[in-house]
């Protein structure tokens, strides 16, 4: 009995600590922007939007050390009654090439196949941002998750939206 209780307690503790680390995950740009003891400038460049999700290129500049980090900001506004809540998530620039590759593979190889079994594909970034698709009963559902463990941060997109997202990422690369 004690062994069972210990195992359950340990499992619960592991789950809670893992959930907190996922929720607290930050991009390198967010960590850079959160430095104390310096003057940080944020420059926002509008790229576009998908559904209710705006996409911006953000440059974080440390004016003391004259260094910079950039990221793509995905922000989703959720309205509940009279309250509007903003849900931002960042994808570091060093993750953009693999993000674009994952979109191309989904477009060219994944979505064209009809799986008989439930199937998931996803691309995960260090900030908790995720892009992917699921196949259930031969129907593909494509999504963006701005933060793990938050059901309000799902953005469901279409195959056409996926192509638009790729175009937006190309625009970001051109502005670097």
Report the alpha-carbon angle 85-32-14, nearest 5: 70
Look at residue 10 and tell me if it is in a domain: no
pLDDT at 14 over 50: no
Q: Which string of b and e fits 126-153 if b means at least 16 CB within 10 Å?
A: bbbbbbbbebeeeebebebbbbbeeeeb
Look at residue 150 and tell me if it is in a domain: yes
Look at residue 62 and tell me if it is in a domain: yes
Instruction: Give how far Cα 15 sits from Cα of 5, 8, 12, 19, 98, Å.
Output: 15, 11, 5, 6, 29
Look at residue 17 and tell me if it is in a domain: no
Q: Please state the rounded mean pLDDT for residues 73-83.
A: 83
Show the domain range for 143. Answer: 26-174
Q: How many domains does the chain have?
A: 1
Cβ atoms of 60 and 41 within 8 Å: the answer is: yes
Question: What's the pLDDT tens digit per position in 64-77?
Answer: 999 999 999 999 87
Q: What is the pTM of this model?
A: 0.80
Confidence (pLDDT) at 23: 53
Look at residue 104 and tell me if it is in a domain: yes
pLDDT band at 13 (very low <50, low <70, confident <90, very high): very low
Question: What's the pLDDT tens digit per position in 113-125?
Answer: 877 889 999 999 9
Sheet holding 154-157, edge to edge: 119-124, 130-136, 139-145, 154-157
Look at residue 145 and tell me if it is in a domain: yes
Look at residue 8 and tell me if it is in a domain: no
pLDDT at 157 over 80: yes
Burial of residue 100 (CB within 10 Å: 0-12, 13-18, 19+) is: middle
Distance, CA of 81 to chain centre: 26
Look at residue 5 and tell me if it is in a domain: no
Of 148 and 18, the one with more pLDDT: 148
Structure token pair of residue 123? 């691309």
């Amino acid at each position: 009995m004690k062994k069972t209780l210990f195992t359950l307690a340990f499992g619960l503790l592991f789950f809670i600590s893992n959930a907190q680390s996922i929720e607290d995950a930050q991009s390198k740009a967010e960590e850079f922007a959160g430095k104390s003891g310096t003057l940080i400038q944020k420059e926002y460049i509008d790229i576009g939007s998908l559904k209710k999700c705006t996409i911006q290129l953000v440059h974080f500049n440390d004016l003391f050390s004259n260094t910079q980090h950039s990221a793509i900001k995905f922000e989703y506004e959720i309205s509940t009654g009279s309250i509007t809540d903003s849900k931002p998530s960042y994808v570091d620039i060093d993750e953009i090439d693999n993000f674009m590759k994952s979109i191309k593979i989904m477009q060219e190889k994944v979505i064209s196949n009809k799986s008989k079994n439930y199937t998931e594909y996803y691309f995960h970034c260090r900030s908790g941002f995720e892009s992917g698709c699921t196949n259930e009963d031969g129907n593909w559902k494509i999504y963006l998750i701005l933060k793990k463990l938050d059901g309000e941060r799902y953005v469901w997109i279409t195959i056409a939206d996926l192509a638009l997202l790729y175009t937006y990422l190309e625009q970001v690369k051109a502005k670097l």
